Amino acid sequence: MEFPKDLKYTKEHEWVKLEGNVVVVGITDYAQDSLGDVVYVELPQEGVGVTKNESFGVVESVKAVSDLYSPVSGSVAEVNDAIVDNPEVINEDPYGDAWMIKVELSNAGELDDLMNADDYQKFIEEEK
C-alpha cells in the first residue's frame, strides 16, 4: 500500500496535492483497494462550488457505492473526464492518472486540518 509523502489525506480516504492555489483531489490506494473493482464514477461539473467535508461525487465498485467528500472548499477548476469513461484507472493508478477533480481553494487554511502520510498510515492501522 502506498502513502506518498508529498500528499495530504482525509479520514474519508481522499488525497490532496497542492499546486499553487489549486488542489488536486483523488481517492487513496487504501480506498480503491477496500472498494474493489471500480465500475462507475460520478463527478461534478467544472465551475461548481464544493464545500469541505461535503459530498462532491460518487464512486461505485462491485462491492459498494461510496460518496466522495471534498477535503477543501472552493470551485471545481477541472474534472478528470478520462476516469468517468474508464473508471478502472482508479484501481490501477490512484495517485496519478486517476485524480478526480482540481479545486481552486477559497480557504487555504483548511489544508492544515489534513493528515500527512505518516498520520494517515497510523489512522488506517487503527481503523482496521
Q: 1 in a domain, yes or no?
A: no
CATH for 38: 2.40.50.100
Structural domain containing residue 77 = 8-109+116-127
Q: How many domains does the chain have?
A: 1
pLDDT in tens, 72-104: 999 999 999 999 999 999 999 999 999 999 999
Q: What are the grid coordinates assigned to 16, written together?
A: 490532496
**CA 9 to CA 93: how far, in whole Å?**
17
Whether this model's pTM surpasses 0.75? yes
Residue 56 covered by a domain: yes
Asked whether residue 71 is domain-assigned, the answer is yes
With a CB cutoff of 8 Å and minimum separation 6, the contacts of 50 are: 44, 56, 70, 72, 73, 74, 75, 76, 101, 103
Q: How far apart are CA 27 and CA 11, in angstroms?
A: 11
Phi, psi dihedrals of residue 83, rounded to the nearest 5°: -80, -20
Could you read off the pLDDT of 18-56 as tens digits, one per residue? 999 999 999 999 999 999 999 999 999 999 999 999 999
